[in-house]
Chains A and B, each alone.
Chain A
Amino acid sequence: MITLLSWAVIILAVLAAVRLMRIYELSAELRGGKPQWEITESDNRMNAVLMMVFAIAFFAFCFWVFFITKDKLLPLAASVHGAQTDWLFNFNMVIITAVAIITNFCLFYFAFKYYKGKKNDAATFFPESHKLELIWTVVPGIALTVIIFLGIKLWNNITAPAQSGAIVMELYAKQFDWIARYAGKDNVLGKRYFRLISDTNPMGMDPTDMAGNDDIVVRSEFHIPKGKEIDFKLASRDVIHSAYMPHFRAQMNCVPGMTTSLHYIPTITTEEMRKDPQVIKNVKEVNEILSAKGEEPYEFNYLLLCNKICGNSHYNMQMNVIVEEPEQYEVWISKQKTVGESMTALLTVPIADENRKQIDALIMEKK
């Protein structure tokens, strides 16, 4: 019934608009004069002025949005290359902002200045100028060369292999959460095989690979030490996910069937970041909103989130990243259970002979 009424209202509104339009046109005809579609000088003047008004309002709007959001943006980069990324971003941003403002201004200003009217009834015939065209091919060419050079230099720097001695760990993605695995004392990740995955062995760890014995598996949060390079190996067991750690300006896709990697050196501990003025301000704002909703207060944490559409709960696939001083990190990691410890329990208790045979067969098949 409501649907029917809604449609009736829509149809009546359209009919009324058509009638109104007709009345307007008839009255315009009665007043005489030119056809409605001919552009008059007053049309030109009005739109020319509006172009200029728009230009000013547009620039004002852009700067206003920038000022109201600038403290809500990502805080200071918390990794070595992140700081370089931010510098390059700002450098490029200055150039493109200047270009965008100057060219937009010329566009709207010329539109404003050269409208057709009694004072400006004839255009200047100006079909080409090789000099001008050369200038605006070469000048952007030079600017872009600088941008390309700096960009590729940083890119090579970020993607160069991690230093030897970096802490190796794996971020393993699945619908819809993350599992983090440390390579342990030997700094070598034990092998996995997707056919070994079960409820109790969610990553499909291979129990016969001794390198995996000292691995440490954690969920919901992982800890890393400040000032040490972390070499992340990324994997997924179902669809493509993307490990995005915005505070470190780091991201890499997790692709089923292959291993990808990224590495960075964290430079600011979680505790230190919580004392950053911008972070304090943001957390305060967030907590005001949360308390109005009657929710728990929030404390700042670095995040790992999924940034590649991966299914219905893509929007809620997260893990906290805790950056600590190396000593604190050592204490934390030494308290974690190794795979060996939990795997023994796993292999002895629930797996009866038949399952055991199945696993062996799978391992053989893989080899």
Chain B
Amino acid sequence: MPKEYYEAVKDSKRRTWLLFAIFIILILAIGWIAGLWLGSEILGTGIAIVVAVIWGLISWYAGDKIILSVSGAGKASEDDYPRLFNTVEALAIGAGIPKPEIYVINDPAPNAFATGRDPDNAKIAVTTGLLEKMDKDELEGVIAHEVSHIRNEDIRVMMLAAVLTGIIVLLGHLFLRMMLFSGGGRKKGGAVMLLIGLAFVIASPFVAQLIKLAISRRREYLADASAVDLARNPDGLIGALRKLDEDKTKLSRANGATAHLYIEDPMKKEEGFFAKLGGLFSTHPPLEDRINRLQEMAAIG
């Protein structure tokens, strides 16, 4: 096991706390602004604290289930997917983690992710497209990447980022609706509140994106490197990343809150203005760059 592994675990723990802190500050800010508008900052903040605690607990204990169901992932049976089960079991043994639960997403777009709050409660989900399009070594590379995310304890931070920020985006929209339907001009300075609220609504997805950005880009490089260390075969993962790059099928059940979980950005195939805008906040390093790094690793040893 490489030394970076311990660093990665420590770093993951720090980032978990950071994420919770950002989440609580954001929720409190929403509550406070909502309170201003409702006429009682204390009420607003109070509600926000309750929401934060409840949603924090739900995210911690059921975040993975929420993510899996949002992604349309169903539990896989060993009889239907023996190759997948064998690959996951072998790599889990190699990484010294318990065997993760295995899920399959019925979608022709090749992709995969891992989630769960710790290695004892880990889940791996792959699309049927991945199973069809990858050969043995490539599948091994992809699963090694996911198993590395589990062992490095990235999955907790990534899961929390998905569900915690998921609700922030949701609350932003809720807030906007509340204002639109009950008339912002009820109180003095209502227009100002409306502006603040609007600003918040517009800002919230960006904030959410920034959080994801903070957690995921370097993790991808590290998971790639650990995957090669684990599978002892850079060509598998390189081949898999190439195929992912060439494949233009869209993953239908992915969304802004879960995109960062996947081995490859499932949203990058979106076209139009928002996709370009999203590129600024891309959760994944360019595949070309990842492939180059792996090739350098392969060349060294």
**Do the two chains bind?**
no
